[in-house]
Amino acid sequence: MTDGKKDEYDAESIKVLEGLEGVRKRPAMYIGSTGKEGLHHLVYEIVDNAVDEALAGECDTIKITLNKDGSVTVEDNGRGIPVEMHPVYKKSAMEVIVTKLHAGGKFDNKAYAVSGGLHGVGISVVAALSKKMTAEVRKNGNIYSQTYKIGVPQDSVKIIGKCAQEEKGTTITFFPDEEIFSTVKFEFSTLINRFREIAFLNAGLKIIFKDENTGKKEDFHFEGGLVEFVKWLNKSKEALHKPVYFKREMEGIIMEAAIQYNEGYQENIFGFVNTINTVEGGTHVAGFRTALTRVINDYVKKKGLLKDDSLMGEDTREGLTAIISIKISHPQFEGQTKTKLGNSEVKGVVDSAVTAALGEFFEENPPIAKRICEKSLDAAKARLAAKKAKELVRRKNAFSLGGLPGKLADCASRKFEETELYLVEGESAGGSAKQSRNKHNQAILPLKGKILNIEKANISKALSSEEIANMITVIGAGVGEQFDIEKLRYNKIIIMTDADVDGEHIKVLILTFFFRFMPKLIENGNIFVALPPLFRIRKKEDYYVYTEDELKKMSEKLGANTIVTRFKGLGEMSSDQLWETTMDPKTRKIKKIFIEDAIEADATFSMLMGDDVQSRKEFIQENARDANLDI
């Protein structure tokens, strides 16, 4: 309201964001976020364009460099962005592609039969969100170049040098804009996982990645493609058989898959569309799952291994590591960040292709087929045992508070958004937490000792564990196939353990439980870790610090005559201290747990919590200096 008049909503209220202005106004619409994930997405957009050249059979090498000046350079030996005069816009095609959204060679299916970047916005978005970007093209014996600042050309496309007549390719160098992003520091470890995936998914493609700031360099080149990928995923597990690989083309869709079961109990199916990791799955993954269940059921019945009953989908996927990769000319992704495939026709095509290929493989390889089927039958027995265990848990809890474990101190509020559940290490700390908490919205569940390592147990054994059964009951959303996030009883689930070696171990055991049994809670942002202080410094008033470095700095700041107290455990704190340092939303520190890369997360949990002792030892040696523990 101004001058007593309401703001008018009329023709003058309608604003048109010209050119790339809309990208800068709403960057998250195009790259997901303006944090670390969005920053790295810029690199993926440019690399995906180079991969599209590889998919078209025009490129076999991609070089990515993190430069010392903060920029990133992506170079490929593809055909090079077109530089000729555009017939409509009367300027170089390269300038049109970079400066106009939805401009590119991926709409008519002539230049690219399939592509990961299909909306024609990738390079435009990178240009708009970069304080400077330079595009260089090598073709026709010339090197063409144009520079942009926040998407605006600084000059026309010019020839800046000569190259060999047969040389071709594109080089993009960009500086992300600090005004857009909360961080402009690229992480080698984050990028390397994506580049490894791309190399696995494009057999024969060479990817060279180096960081000029640290001197780190990695080269990826896998002639075996998906077979090598599935073996790499299972490297920390004991495989049951050699990888099963097949490739089929039906109705214009190219599908390839690699399957390998292991001795573990976790299901890992990773779906890709035109080399894009569809982390939320989609119709291609659904078709694969349906076919796998059908083929295994048909085989066990045909061989007389199972007569009256049928295996369920979850039985056939226990211990499965699989990659399903399709290439399709018109993928329909949900959102620009491409996390889920929506093409309805793909489900049936993939179902048919997998059914035919896997059925054929089973007939030709009876020993492997038998091992896979036996694994599924064992899983079915465990599922039935787990069902009995669940019923036992329900009966046992029927005598406690409303079906909930008696040790739970529940909160009063029924407003889901404000509720919190603290999973607390030890009865002593649990007692302090119950005294400290805000009873209105904070619930406390003490955990006794170290919970079962889910990585080495099937669901039947897991549900026979009192602590795990209690967590499942209290959280309320179920596990596995029966998981329903709508039944979740608390908005925040906060893991609170001692800041020592045992506490860290318990924390990882609980996180393993969530990652394997309730991954959607992590994906949905419901899981947190509490950060209790390591030290209290007293000088007239109390100061709490969380690391050795903080202690040193604070001690220097406060000077002489301070009493430093080291907290050995949560149970040593008074209820007031525990509230003030670890549970009061105004003063506490908590970390939200999220999955940055599902493939890397799976490999890390398998390595840390599985049977691969040597890999775990090497990991600890490499990362020991980063740990902040009281040993």
Residue 502 catalytic? yes
For tokens 């309201």, what's the residue?
A: 1
Catalytic residue among 502, 523, 550, 600: 502
- Report whether 474 contacts 415 (CB < 8 A): no
612 burial level (CB within 10 Å; 0-12, 13-18, 19+): middle
Euclidean distance between CA atoms 517 and 454, whole angstroms? 9
CA quadruple 240, 241, 247, 248: dihedral positive or negative? Answer: negative
What SS3 state is found at 286?
A: helix
CA angle 589, 591, 592 (to 5 degrees): 140
What kind and span of H or E run contains 289?
helix 283-302
504, two tokens: 């860290």
Give buried/exposed letters for 578-587 (b at 16+ CB in 10 A, else e): bbbbbbeeee
Give the gyration radius of the chain's Cα atoms: 28
Residue 309 catalytic? no
What is the side-by-side strand order in the sheet with 590-592?
Answer: 442-447, 420-425, 492-496, 527-530, 590-592
58, two tokens: 């025009």
What SS3 state is found at 575?
A: helix
Catalytic residue among 60, 212, 378, 500: 500
Nearest to 225 by CA among 261, 188, 251, 197: 197
498 burial level (CB within 10 Å; 0-12, 13-18, 19+): buried
Euclidean distance between CA atoms 292 and 261, whole angstroms? 13
389, two tokens: 């265990």
- Please report how the helices 466-475 and 501-517 are oriented relative to each other, as an axis angle in degrees rounded to 10: 60
What SS3 state is found at 2?
A: strand
Euclidean distance between CA atoms 249 and 266, whole angstroms? 30
Catalytic residue among 76, 425, 467, 602: 425
- Answer left, alpha or beta for residue 133, where phi above 0 means left and psi between -120 and 50 means alpha: beta
What is the side-by-side strand order in the sheet with 276-277?
Answer: 244-250, 253-261, 320-327, 268-273, 276-277
Euclidean distance between CA atoms 450 and 284, whole angstroms? 39
How many CB atoms lie under 10 A from the CB of residue 337?
19
List residues bridging with 76 in a β-sheet: 62, 170
Catalytic residue among 256, 455, 467, 498: 498
3-state DSSP helix/strand/coil percent for the chain, to nearest 5?
40, 20, 40
- Report whether 595 contacts 523 (CB < 8 A): yes
Euclidean distance between CA atoms 436 and 395, whole angstroms? 32
Report, as residue numbers or ranges, the catalytic residues: 425, 498, 500, 502
